[in-house]
Amino acid sequence: MSLQLIPDLHRATHRVGVYLENVEPGLTQGEAHLLAHLHAQGYCSIAELHRALAHKRSTLTSLLDRLEGRGFTTREVSSTDRRSFLIRLTRAGRLAAARVHAALSNFELAALARVTPAEVEGFRAVLAALGGNSGSE
């Protein structure tokens, strides 16, 4: 049996990565998505980032280390749980995150203009099945 979904999913994911290379040079796709998420959320705990992005914990730590090294994020001990860290964007990080988020929004809007709402709903159902969740997480 030939693969029905994975090749197209891989190609689409690759195209997003290629698109992002021109938005914020030097960022990996994972770093860019993390910045976009922080742009939308403001700040997050590492556990929240793990749930949102589904990276292995070691991968997420590596992404955060690199973003912190570039001066885009900081880690602060949570005031409500001293065992947790909050990830915040720095001024430079907010600027980079805004560029990434705007670029991804434009990329997505261009794609959405070419499909119907019913097609989007079906696509989201397939993504939820591939991601192992109900789509509500």
Q: Which domains does the chain have, with CATH numbers?
A: 6-130 (1.10.10.10)
Q: Determine which helix (DSSP H) or strand (DSSP E) holds 129, and give its type and residue range.
A: helix 117-131
- Cβ neighbors of 134 (< 8 A, separation 6 or more) are 128
pLDDT given for residue 134 in this prediction: 43
**Do 103 and 23 meet the contact criterion of CB atoms below 8 Å apart?**
yes
Sheet holding 73-77, edge to edge: 43-45, 85-89, 73-77
**Do 43 and 89 meet the contact criterion of CB atoms below 8 Å apart?**
yes
**Do 35 and 96 meet the contact criterion of CB atoms below 8 Å apart?**
yes
Kindly give the confidence (pLDDT) of every residue in the chain, 137 residues in length, as a single tens digit, with 9 standing for 90 and above. Answer: 899 889 999 999 999 999 998 898 899 999 999 999 999 998 999 989 999 998 888 999 999 999 999 999 999 987 777 778 899 999 999 999 999 999 999 999 999 999 999 999 999 999 989 887 544 43
pLDDT given for residue 78 in this prediction: 75
- Cβ neighbors of 131 (< 8 A, separation 6 or more) are 54
pLDDT given for residue 133 in this prediction: 54
